[in-house]
Structure 1
Amino acid sequence: MQKMRLIALAGVVAGLAAGCGGSDADHANGSTVLAGTIGSASPTIKPARFASVKFGGGGYVPGLIFHPTSPDVLYARTDVGGAYRWDAATSSWTAITDMFGPDEGFYHGSETMAVDPNDDQRVYMSAGMYNWASSHARLYISTDRGSHWTHVDLPFPAGGNNQGRAVGERLMVDPNDSTILFYATRTAGLWKSTDRGQTWNQVTSLSTLTMTQAQIDTAYWSSPVGMEQLIFDTDTKGTGTATQTIYTAVAPDYANMAGLTAGLYKTTNGGASWTSIPVPADVQGFIIPHMVRAKDGMMYVAFTKGEGPGAGGPCRLYKFDGTNWTLLKGYDDTQWSSFGMGGLSVSGTGAHTRIALGVTNTWGNWQGMPAVQMSDDGGATWREIANLMPRDPAKTGYSGWVDDVEIDPNNPDRVLHVTGGGVWETRNASDAQPTWNFIVNGVEEVATKALMAPAPGANYSLMRAGLDIGITVQTELLKAPTRTTGEWFSSAFGIDAAWSNPNYIAAIGAGASKTPDIVGAYSSDGGVSWNKFANNHPDAKAHQSETASVAVTKTGNVVWAPAESVPAWTADSGNTWTYTNLPALEHMSTSRGYHVVADRKNPNKVYAYDSGGAWWAQWGGAAHFYTSTDGGQTFTESATFKNSAALNSFQQTSVAVNPNAEGDVWVVDGFSILHSTDSGAHWTKLNVTQSIPDPNNYYVPKVYGAISIALGKAPVGAKYSASIYIVGVINGQWGVYRSDDGGVNWTRYNDDQHQYGGISNLAADQAVPGRLYFAGAARGVLFTY
């Protein structure tokens, strides 16, 4: 399941690569960016437009949020890949956090979202990836359904990618007085705002505890659940008088630390005082992942043992009328003891209440296996509505992380549920066998670790290595890939293809539970089929870290550099591996690895770049650059490089070669751009980029000056044989920049509405001038056209 993760485009301008044709009418869904120029303008650079290279979902959507009265106003929050708004006209999702900048990557995971019941334009989103005691969440506020945001810093952390991230929703707006918001936090109890989220105060009448880091570390593997949710017990809205009766749930971790004696509390005076509500004995100490209120005031409460994602059992569903608890469903016998409960939604009232219940930690696809259970009689009888029809094997299954289920408040036959890979929807839930569709068009939540564009003439356009998805080879940019490594890798870190034969591809990653021995593989047919290396690099299984790379010099010849290891080479597709003479890289403040890259004009030349580890760890010596002239068997160090380049981490550095000129090498060391035209013997530092310092952190810049570089097809008339693209800062402005004259002049290639929480890996097309592929912050892969 995705843990680390544009507007859907129907077509793009004629003349793009295979699968990218489209009419002019399709362009309405694209985005045009007017580039800003640094230095002298380059007349060859035209405004860029952006679209997603389609994977389709790929990550965890912990929460779906409907507006209670306005049809089709629906949001999806992801754990690492931003947030989305449903577009009913196109039956797709629109990304609403793509304007987040490179210093907002930590806020690209949303812990909770809330809508204003009285204003369907107003939406709130709390964001913050992890609940460290020293971190602060942000509350993002929009008055136009997420098209624009302002934010305030919150006095407590959030855990958008922590365990238990589907619990809630934690943030709620009072339906009677929309100026009032409550937030059930993980580490600091219950908080309240009376000015639409601008300022916050702890509800000290319930608890005054704010967890220390030591306390956080002891709770659920450093993922405290804390306060879980809040429900306004009211049938009215917009009265202007604050709702007085409110319920809130508290998890055992926070309750025990705060001295609270129950898992559920109630106030009848707007939070001035609270009364504990005893829960049934068989669910003492359980998590309440969701509780919901029907229109008749009946409360439905799910209890499960684990915090999720995909929380295990035992579990129970109860209804509560304010006094009495009634058991509706449970899983705890021998056959079902591992099943938990996650999503919960209700529609209607009384004996005809429709209940949709997500059953989590269920894996497989046998017909009738619990995934989404539905009752149309208030819980008296139940039927399975999801695992009744076969699923497309190319899509995620119905089961697993069913941690949120929502009945459309305006159409009870429309039910949505999440999994670890996206969102499923049915619009005929009343049928004996509902029809489900995987509605992920527009959602791209893959954390990309490496991109590679092949040589001109390849029968595919792009190769991608990603966390939780392995390898994909894209033949059509706007269609989900059909060439993949399947379940071979739990995650993939590196990929390359032979320039003389792009059908030969090598890939490296981490072994999956079913295939723990496969950490390296190759394809001889452009990714259609794959073979595991007969033998792995000797150290690869012991060092399955993403600080790794791979280079292919020609068919069968591969150089593999696992993390913190001596790179090795093979000339027989992995039957035998021989260590190179490069030194091993020891762990130093951060994981270390070599960037290895093959020269595209001379297959005997291979370059290895050791970025040094971390620039603040000066005892590590220096960065190093090495060149091989025998296909990667032996390397010679550049004597001048270590005096030119800065130390930095693997993830903040990059190396690229010009495919049109032998020995033409480019490096970005996190701060600067370096260029060699003689295979690394001598280097020139371009005085172009500069980091943006962080006044609160001496060791790490707020934004690095140059972190990724790629070279691609140059336009006709360019002064240099390749277009150069970098991610970095020029004249104080972060962005993606392009140069067509060898790095003399640079033009910004994106704008402030297209920042994607930061951009990392780049690859440039070798056949289409101006086409750049890049990875957003767990926003999948995007391309310019």
Structure 2
Amino acid sequence: MHKMRLIALAGIVAGLAAGCGGSDADHGNGNTVLAGTIGSASPTIKPARFASVKFGGGGYVPGLVFHPTSPDVLYARTDVGGAYRWDPATSSWISITDGFGPDEGGYHGSETLALDPNDDQRVYLGGGMYVSADGHARLYISTDRGNHWTHVELPFSAGGNSQGRAVGERLMVDPNDSTILFYATRTAGLWKSTDRGQTWNQVTSLSTAKMTKAQIEATYWSSPVGMEQVIFDTNTKGTGSATQTIYTAVAPDYAGVAGLNHALYKTTDGGASWTGIATPADVQGYIIPHMVRAKDGMMYVAFTKGIGPGANGPARLYKFDGTNWTLLKSYDDTQWSSFGIGGLSVYGTGAHTRIALGVTNTWGNWQGQPVVQLSDDGGATWREIAAMMPHVPANGSFSGWMDDVEIDPNNKDRILHVTGGGVVETRNASDATPTWTFPNEGIEEVATKALMAPPAGAKYTLLRSGLDVGTWVQTELTKRPTLGPNGFFNSAYSADMAWSNPAYIATIGAATWDTPDRLGAYSTDSGATWTAFATNHPDAKAQQDEAASIAVTKTGSAVWAPSSSVPAWTADNGNTWTYTNLPPLANAWVSRGYHVVADRKNPNKVYAYNSGGAWWQQWSETARFFTSTDGGHTFTESTTFPTSGTALNSFQATSVAVNPNVEGDIWLADGFNILHSTDSGANWTKLNVTQSIPDPDNAFQPKIYGATSIALGKAPAGAKYSASIYVVGVINGQWGLYRSDDGGVNWTRYNDDLHQYAGISNLAADQAVPGRVYFAGAARGVLFTY
């Protein structure tokens, strides 16, 4: 999985919160262009409605949280794609973070989620993508099950997409006094709030240590686990008196920094003082991914050597009665030592306690495989209830990341576990052969890197390329795609089709571990079958980064631009590749590459856009645009483009699109501005309609970029321009998805504040349906307007 690379997701493309800021008008890049006169909204534009282009799951769900008493109140948190609430009426999930703005992409990864046992409307979400020594996490608070949120800035960081992201839950509400919350942080020990999360103080009675940058970087993948969980040892709730007996767990990385000598601590005075609990000798140095309390007060504690996702073993499960430890399950011999214990859930009490155990880092679906182990006698005996059991769809399988398992507290036969691709569930766990389903309707957690809509009349609707999932051909918007070079790539970065023959599709991506030389592929039958390019672009294997693109000019012919490379062309389905004459890209210490785009009216014309790469190149480089008239073999530079008012920016924050109805009609978003050429790039006009939103803490980059993605699609009847233009950016001080039907004179916002998706990127517009545009949210899959 490449989720650790998602710091360049759509939320950042639209102005990722944490590290962006300010105007650099003082530095000559023109990225604080003042708005020109914006006309009134076009009467042809109606308020848009939004729906997901279905993929179904697609990403890692580190945690599931049931309300302890209210039936069917269930939440799922994802590592990069926000959070969801289960809707039992429709048997689907509802995204509860679609209102996150373009500057909140860095909080779209949920490190932990907590529910108030006394109020099933109140939800808390700990947001923050990556661990650091600076306090930049947020606590989001909802009083209506996630329909609306407020937030509080936290004085520590969070790691929703860092290693060990299934550990916890880290945030817990005191069931006896709901004003009290505890947060087990990764880098700063244990923290407490006594006002429903509004203010926080470190629990200094346990530790005052806060990890430094060097200490964080010394941990595995710079991902300290830190404090791991909080358990309130009580059977009561709503008494109004704070729970006095509390357990918390600490990982070896933070224990070493803080001078803590135990993996488990207990307080009997509400946190005023703490006592270390000696854990069994055979689990010293292990982490505690989950611990749970049964209603009779018995504690069940999982110990695992690795931190996950898919934590490796050895691993052991113990129960603890407050004095004695009893071993219930272990994975530590030669055959099983690589298996870890991830998920853990209990139901009932005493000798009849049901225990569900997620065995992680086990892959496939084979006889004897441990996936979900179930005990109905408190751990005395066990049976496997997932591997080799019936599952729907029949071609489904288990991913190896069973890092959370939950038994429905109101239905012991309903058990769910998470995977790297979504959620898996059984509702007949007591049967000899439980049936498992994949209830991922509504969960869309694909990090999309490119979208392309074909000409009208094609046998498919959309090409989508993303991290971890490759390229797929979407034939129906509301059904999971089945066509694509499935398994060809780990991640895919770009796809295009021949406009004169859309059955011919080419795509590029990163190789899988078992096919390291397969980096590009083509289809001649609208995606039904695929063939790997016989050879790759000469630099593709060494430059498998997402700042890449491919342009198809006609059947068998394409221009491939890997990241940080000179593009090359083929006229024989990739049997040979020849470098173009485009200039090499200077090292900018960031991912960069050429955007290559084919003209749809004249296949001999290909355009190449070098966006620069980073603001700090402004003293040594300018953004550049090139045009080819021989199918992408040789290019000529536009001499006017560098002086058109364009700015330097990253590949991910820039976009170029052609009008499929008019030769040489090009639109470009450079991160700050919209530019237009009607003569194949020879001359350019900057539209003075967008303006970035500055960040007072950063003089070089804005908080929210002015224009980041652009696409052209079918115009409505009577429109003044031959295509509808869609852009993501800021107009009249308001960020959003905008549409123009008159060539960019008038713009109307197409979304609203409830549909911001933590940033929007990667636009594609339908060529057959007026008003339909496809776009990617921040690891929120693909959406469309209807």
Offset at 1:389?
2.0
Distance 2:512 2:566 in 1: 24
Is 2:376 the partner of 1:379?
Answer: no
Is 2:712 the partner of 1:711?
Answer: yes
Is 2:246 the partner of 1:246?
Answer: yes
TM (normalized to structure 1)?
A: 0.95
User: 2:684 aligns to what?
Assistant: 683
The AA in structure 2 aligned to 1:257 is V
The answer (yes or no) to whether the contact 2:390–2:435 under 8 Å persists in 1 is no
User: 1:83 aligns to what?
Assistant: 83
Q: How does 1:270-289 map to 2 (within 5 A)?
A: 270-289=270-289
Q: Secondary structure at the match of 1:106?
A: helix
Distance 2:651 2:2 in 1: 22
Offset at 1:643?
1.0
Q: How does 1:509-528 map to 2 (within 5 A)?
A: 509-528=509-528
The answer (yes or no) to whether the contact 1:396–1:421 under 8 Å persists in 2 is no
Distance 1:251 1:40 in 2: 58
User: 1:540 aligns to what?
Assistant: 540
User: 1:581 aligns to what?
Assistant: 581
The answer (yes or no) to whether the contact 1:523–1:529 under 8 Å persists in 2 is yes
Distance 2:390 2:321 in 1: 39
Offset at 1:616?
3.2
Q: Where do 5+ consecutive residues of structure 1 fail to align?
A: 6-36
In the superposition, relative to structure 1, how do residues 2 and 476 fare at CA in structure 2: closer, same or farther (>3 Å)? farther
User: 2:151 aligns to what?
Assistant: 151
Distance 1:680 1:533 in 2: 31
Q: Where do 5+ consecutive residues of structure 2 fail to align?
A: 7-36
Distance 1:572 1:135 in 2: 54
Q: Secondary structure at the match of 1:718?
A: coil
User: 1:782 aligns to what?
Assistant: 783
The range that moved more, 494-503 or 642-651, is 642-651
Offset at 1:619?
2.9
The answer (yes or no) to whether the contact 2:391–2:435 under 8 Å persists in 1 is no
Offset at 1:247?
0.4
Distance 1:546 1:745 in 2: 33
User: 2:505 aligns to what?
Assistant: 505
Distance 2:732 2:572 in 1: 48
The AA in structure 2 aligned to 1:458 is A
User: 2:355 aligns to what?
Assistant: 355
User: 1:433 aligns to what?
Assistant: 433
The answer (yes or no) to whether the contact 1:468–1:490 under 8 Å persists in 2 is yes
Is 2:529 the partner of 1:529?
Answer: yes
Q: Secondary structure at the match of 2:103?
A: helix
Distance 1:315 1:142 in 2: 37
The AA in structure 2 aligned to 1:365 is N
Offset at 1:615?
2.3
Offset at 1:53?
0.1
Offset from partner CA, 1:327-349 (integer Å, 9 cap, x none): 00000111111000000000000
The AA in structure 1 aligned to 2:516 is P
Q: How does 1:111-150 map to 2 (within 5 A)?
A: 111-150=111-150
Offset from partner CA, 1:453-473 (integer Å, 9 cap, x none): 001110000000100000100
In the superposition, relative to structure 1, how do residues 417 and 71 fare at CA in structure 2: closer, same or farther (>3 Å)? same
Q: How does 1:159-170 map to 2 (within 5 A)?
A: 159-170=159-170
Distance 1:771 1:38 in 2: 23
Distance 1:188 1:114 in 2: 19
The AA in structure 2 aligned to 1:304 is T
Is 2:672 the partner of 1:642?
Answer: no
The AA in structure 2 aligned to 1:125 is L
User: 2:554 aligns to what?
Assistant: 554
The answer (yes or no) to whether the contact 2:564–2:585 under 8 Å persists in 1 is yes
User: 2:314 aligns to what?
Assistant: 314
The answer (yes or no) to whether the contact 1:504–1:525 under 8 Å persists in 2 is yes
The answer (yes or no) to whether the contact 2:726–2:737 under 8 Å persists in 1 is yes
Q: How does 1:98-247 map to 2 (within 5 A)?
A: 98-247=98-247
Is 2:403 the partner of 1:403?
Answer: yes
Q: Secondary structure at the match of 2:764?
A: strand
Offset from partner CA, 1:637-694 (integer Å, 9 cap, x none): 0000011211111011000000000000011110000000000000000000000001
The AA in structure 1 aligned to 2:733 is G
Distance 1:715 1:665 in 2: 20
User: 1:10 aligns to what?
Assistant: none
User: 1:769 aligns to what?
Assistant: 770
Offset at 1:2?
6.4
The answer (yes or no) to whether the contact 1:2–1:421 under 8 Å persists in 2 is no
The AA in structure 2 aligned to 1:139 is L
The answer (yes or no) to whether the contact 1:363–1:400 under 8 Å persists in 2 is yes
The AA in structure 2 aligned to 1:344 is L
Q: Secondary structure at the match of 1:617?
A: helix
The AA in structure 1 aligned to 2:536 is N
The range that moved more, 643-652 or 387-396, is 387-396
Distance 2:209 2:700 in 1: 32
The answer (yes or no) to whether the contact 1:79–1:165 under 8 Å persists in 2 is yes
The answer (yes or no) to whether the contact 2:417–2:425 under 8 Å persists in 1 is yes
Distance 2:606 2:367 in 1: 53
The AA in structure 1 aligned to 2:597 is V
User: 1:9 aligns to what?
Assistant: none
The answer (yes or no) to whether the contact 1:127–1:137 under 8 Å persists in 2 is yes
The answer (yes or no) to whether the contact 1:612–1:620 under 8 Å persists in 2 is no
The answer (yes or no) to whether the contact 1:675–1:683 under 8 Å persists in 2 is yes
Offset at 1:38?
4.8
Distance 2:650 2:587 in 1: 11
Offset at 1:40?
1.9
User: 2:615 aligns to what?
Assistant: 615
The answer (yes or no) to whether the contact 1:653–1:708 under 8 Å persists in 2 is yes
The AA in structure 1 aligned to 2:367 is Q
The range that moved more, 513-522 or 444-453, is 513-522
Offset at 1:103?
0.1
Q: How does 1:411-490 map to 2 (within 5 A)?
A: 411-490=411-490
The AA in structure 1 aligned to 2:221 is W
Offset at 1:392?
5.7
Q: How does 1:734-753 map to 2 (within 5 A)?
A: 734-753=735-754
The AA in structure 1 aligned to 2:595 is H
Distance 2:591 2:116 in 1: 45
User: 2:730 aligns to what?
Assistant: 729
The range that moved more, 618-627 or 674-683, is 618-627
The answer (yes or no) to whether the contact 1:140–1:150 under 8 Å persists in 2 is yes
Q: Secondary structure at the match of 1:459?
A: coil
Offset at 1:621?
1.3
Offset at 1:351?
0.3
Q: Secondary structure at the match of 1:94?
A: strand
By relative contact order (CA 8 Å, sep 6+), the higher-ranking structure is 2
User: 1:27 aligns to what?
Assistant: none
Offset from partner CA, 1:597-625 (integer Å, 9 cap, x none): 00000000000000011123223310000
Offset from partner CA, 1:459-509 (integer Å, 9 cap, x none): 000000100000100000000001021111000001000000000001000
Identity, in percent, stands at 80
Q: Secondary structure at the match of 2:282?
A: helix
Is 2:338 the partner of 1:338?
Answer: yes
Task: Let me know the Cα RMSD of the aligned residues.
Answer: 1.1
Q: Secondary structure at the match of 1:224?
A: coil
Offset from partner CA, 1:188-227 (integer Å, 9 cap, x none): 0000000000000000000000111111001122000000
The answer (yes or no) to whether the contact 2:287–2:303 under 8 Å persists in 1 is yes
User: 2:491 aligns to what?
Assistant: 491
The answer (yes or no) to whether the contact 1:38–1:747 under 8 Å persists in 2 is no
Distance 2:56 2:2 in 1: 12
Distance 1:508 1:720 in 2: 33
Distance 1:387 1:250 in 2: 32
Offset at 1:393?
7.3
User: 2:663 aligns to what?
Assistant: 662
Distance 1:221 1:139 in 2: 24
User: 1:40 aligns to what?
Assistant: 40
TM (normalized to structure 2)?
A: 0.95
User: 1:606 aligns to what?
Assistant: 606
In the superposition, relative to structure 1, how do residues 250 and 387 fare at CA in structure 2: closer, same or farther (>3 Å)? same
The AA in structure 2 aligned to 1:743 is G
Offset at 1:395?
6.1
Report runs of 4+ in structure 1 exceeding 6 Å deviation. Answer: none
The AA in structure 2 aligned to 1:613 is G
The answer (yes or no) to whether the contact 2:390–2:436 under 8 Å persists in 1 is no
Distance 2:740 2:316 in 1: 61
